[in-house]
């Protein structure tokens, strides 16, 4: 018995270890999906809101990097992420033309750019509105506001300032488009002369941090409305210009050619356009702010499939 007992104990131990190993071998690790997203989508908390739902539905590990559109697209080009979700149509078109986006399938259509949400840009600033842009309305209100900010800023840079993202993000791209539409050479008139005069300031950072800087300086800035609503409780800035044809802000998802998980990337595209997720996007922020931070995809507004 003194010999048999240790052998029995050893057999039991081996069998226990074998059962444990076999049991573990049947478990699979969640599939990693790497996503580069804009700071506006992240700073508003939307990705936090959607992440758990996606991970549970697809047994995935969603790894998100919040960057400006320019950097997000570079990550996609280099294969550092599998999906980019951005909001700069010109840069998106160049990304596709360069062969960096795979076609995704959505609602029976095959497309490289899948729009899934939108909101609007607004111009915010101090309630005192030293440049007098708050009364502007109509389709060209943003361009007229930028003209007044430039003119008043050049005359009195201590009172009238504009803080730019200055980071090649989608918001920065929209800002440059407004300056151009207002008749300015952005590089010479705004960055060159504006910076030299002291009224034009480049933050070089995300939307939330840019809003905080503009608030500290009592300056104007361009922001998507969703991020402003999420931050407004901590700011003294107010919305001043909310109309204008140029202010539409559409968010697009693209599957990266150089990514490593195109199958899970397709799942994300399908997820973002699923009716129940679109409904969640439509309601996001309403209880806290009285209006949504983003609107669900609308073909008549967003245009793309």
Check: CB of residue 37 under 8 Å from CB of residue 222. no
- Quick one: pLDDT band at residue 91, thresholds 50, 70, 90? very high
Query: pLDDT tens, 189-232?
Result: 999 999 999 999 999 999 999 999 999 999 999 999 999 999 99
Give the pLDDT confidence score for residue 2 in this predicted structure.
45
Rounded-to-integer distance, Cα 127 and Cα 112, Å: 42
Domains assigned to the chain: 31-118+249-302 (3.40.190.10), 119-247 (3.40.190.10)
Average pLDDT, integer, range 25-42: 86
Average pLDDT, integer, range 293-299: 95
The share of the chain scoring above pLDDT 90, in percent, equals 87
Check: CB of residue 15 under 8 Å from CB of residue 21. no
Closest CA to 67 of 163, 168, 192, 187: 168
For residue 178, pLDDT over 80 is answered with: yes
Give the pLDDT confidence score for residue 40 in this predicted structure.
87
Give the pLDDT confidence score for residue 102 in this predicted structure.
98
Give the pLDDT confidence score for residue 20 in this predicted structure.
46
Alpha helices in 110-165 (DSSP H): 141-155
Give the pLDDT confidence score for residue 11 in this predicted structure.
45
Give the pLDDT confidence score for residue 305 in this predicted structure.
74
Check: CB of residue 224 under 8 Å from CB of residue 124. no
Q: What angle do CA 235, 236, 238 make, to 5 degrees?
A: 100
Give the pLDDT confidence score for residue 1 in this predicted structure.
41
Rounded-to-integer distance, Cα 166 and Cα 176, Å: 10
Check: CB of residue 126 under 8 Å from CB of residue 218. yes
Which DSSP letter does residue 168 get?
S
Query: pLDDT tens, 163-172?
Result: 999 999 999 9
- Phi-psi sector, 56: left (phi>0), alpha (psi -120 to 50), beta: alpha
- Quick one: pLDDT band at residue 8, thresholds 50, 70, 90? low
Query: pLDDT tens, 76-88?
Result: 999 999 999 999 9
Give the pLDDT confidence score for residue 303 in this predicted structure.
80
Give the pLDDT confidence score for residue 12 in this predicted structure.
42
Tell me how crowded residue 78 is: count the other CB atoms within 10 A of its CB: 11
Q: Classify burial at 162, counting beta carbons within 10 Å of its beta carbon; exposed 0-12, middle 13-18, buried 19 or more.
A: buried
Q: What angle do CA 144, 243, 143 make, to 5 degrees?
A: 20
Rounded-to-integer distance, Cα 261 and Cα 209, Å: 32
Give the pLDDT confidence score for residue 26 in this predicted structure.
52
Give the pLDDT confidence score for residue 25 in this predicted structure.
45
Give the pLDDT confidence score for residue 273 in this predicted structure.
97
Q: Classify burial at 31, counting beta carbons within 10 Å of its beta carbon; exposed 0-12, middle 13-18, buried 19 or more.
A: middle
Copy the structure tokens of residue 129: 């509105």
Give the pLDDT confidence score for residue 241 in this predicted structure.
98
For residues 27 and 68, the model is more confident at 68
Which pTM does this prediction carry?
0.86
For residue 141, pLDDT over 60 is answered with: yes
For residues 188 and 19, the model is more confident at 188
């Amino acid at each position: 018995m003194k010999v048999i007992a240790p052998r029995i104990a050893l057999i039991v131990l081996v069998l226990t270890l074998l059962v444990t190993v076999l049991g573990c071998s049947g478990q699979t690790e969640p599939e990693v999906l790497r996503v580069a997203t804009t700071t506006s989508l992240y700073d508003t908390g939307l990705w936090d809101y959607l992440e758990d739902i996606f991970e549970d539905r697809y047994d995935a590990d969603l790894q998100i990097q919040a960057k400006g559109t320019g950097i997000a697209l570079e990550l996609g080009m280099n294969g550092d992420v599998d999906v980019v979700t951005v909001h700069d149509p010109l840069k998106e078109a160049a990304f596709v033309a360069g062969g960096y986006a795979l076609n995704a399938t959505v609602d029976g259509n095959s497309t490289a750019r899948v729009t899934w949400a939108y909101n609007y840009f607004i111009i915010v600033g101090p309630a005192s509105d030293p440049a007098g842009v708050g009364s502007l309305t109509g389709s060209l209100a943003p361009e007229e506001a930028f003209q007044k900010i430039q003119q008043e800023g050049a005359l009195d840079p201590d009172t009238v300032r504009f803080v730019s993202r200055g980071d090649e993000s989608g918001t920065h791209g929209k800002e440059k488009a407004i300056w151009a539409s207002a008749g300015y050479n952005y590089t010479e008139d705004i960055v060159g002369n504006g910076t030299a005069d002291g009224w034009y300031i480049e933050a070089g950072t995300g939307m939330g941090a840019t809003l905080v800087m503009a608030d500290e300086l009592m300056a104007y800035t361009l922001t998507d409305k969703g991020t402003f609503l999420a931050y407004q409780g901590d700011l003294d800035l107010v919305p001043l210009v909310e109309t204008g044809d140029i202010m539409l802000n559409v968010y697009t998802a693209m599957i990266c050619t150089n990514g490593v998980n195109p199958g899970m990337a397709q799942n994300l595209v399908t997820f973002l356009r699923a009716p129940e997720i679109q409904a969640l996007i439509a309601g996001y922020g309403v209880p806290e702010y009285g209006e949504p931070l983003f609107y669900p995809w609308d073909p008549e507004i967003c245009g793309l499939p």
